[in-house]
Amino acid sequence: MSETDHPAGPRSAVRLVDNMRFRQTFRRIPAPVAVVLVATANGGTTGITCTSAQSLSAEPPMAVVAIDDKTGLVPLIRHAGRFSINYLAADRSNWADAFSARGADLAELADIIVPGRTSVPTFATGTTAVLECASAEIHPGGDHWIVSGAIAHARFQADAEPLLYRAGAYGAFRPGGDSVRSDHAAVVPTG
């Protein structure tokens, strides 16, 4: 019911969901909050807050993140050939705001950005996990880019709660079970 024609893509006849329905739906889905950092050509650091950074591959170890084209970060990543993913701790939503350009004092944050093991800029504190990616494969993804990278170094803070985001609000993980799962295909006899 909330679908519109969309001119782009190889299947232009397919009606896609409209923008409002798209946003309403993804507001239901919580995601961890990370800041992607990359070095600029002039020796500075640029970063954006995102909620799309995920594990990709175990062998080789890789991570993947979707980056909005309009942030301008992807050309910098392409040039640098490396980037870091900094998963924020639950008490650092102010940093998430800062890297969303919502008016925080960025000069204040400069003190906590340090070169990582592989010299890529990383957060020194305030994270649950930091991944240093030593390469960047970039694939198109609509108005975003899919950026994957091989993980050259990883560190984590075992006692830090991760910051989550859902429906316009920050939050945290509330444990509510003890099951363990792994990814395997299962065939369901339907149809």
Among residues 44, 80, 116, 120, the one that binds its own copies under rule CB under 8 A = 44
Q: Confirm or reject binding of residue 41 to its own copies (CB under 8 A).
A: no
The nearest distance, CB 185 to its own copies, in angstroms, is 4
Annotate each residue in 132-161 with x if it binds its own copies (CB under 8 A) or - if it does not, as one string: --xx-x-x-xxxx-x-x-xxxxxxxxx-x-
DSSP 44: -
Rg, the chain, Cα only: 18
What is the C-alpha to C-alpha distance for residues 129 and 160, in angstroms, rounded to an integer?
9
Cis peptide before 32 (omega within 30 of 0): no
Please name which of 133, 90, 130, 134 lies closest in space to residue 112, comparing C-alpha atoms: 130
Q: Confirm or reject binding of residue 125 to its own copies (CB under 8 A).
A: no
What is the C-alpha to C-alpha distance for residues 191 and 181, in angstroms, rounded to an integer?
27
The nearest distance, CB 41 to its own copies, in angstroms, is 11
Q: Confirm or reject binding of residue 169 to its own copies (CB under 8 A).
A: yes
What is the C-alpha to C-alpha distance for residues 93 and 97, in angstroms, rounded to an integer?
6
Among residues 21, 77, 78, 80, the one that binds its own copies under rule CB under 8 A = 21
Among residues 77, 83, 116, 164, the one that binds its own copies under rule CB under 8 A = 164
Instruction: Using CB under 8 A, count the residues that bind its own copies.
Output: 118
Structure tokens at 52: 């799309």
Per CB under 8 A, contacts with its own copies among 78-97 are 87, 90, 93, 96-97
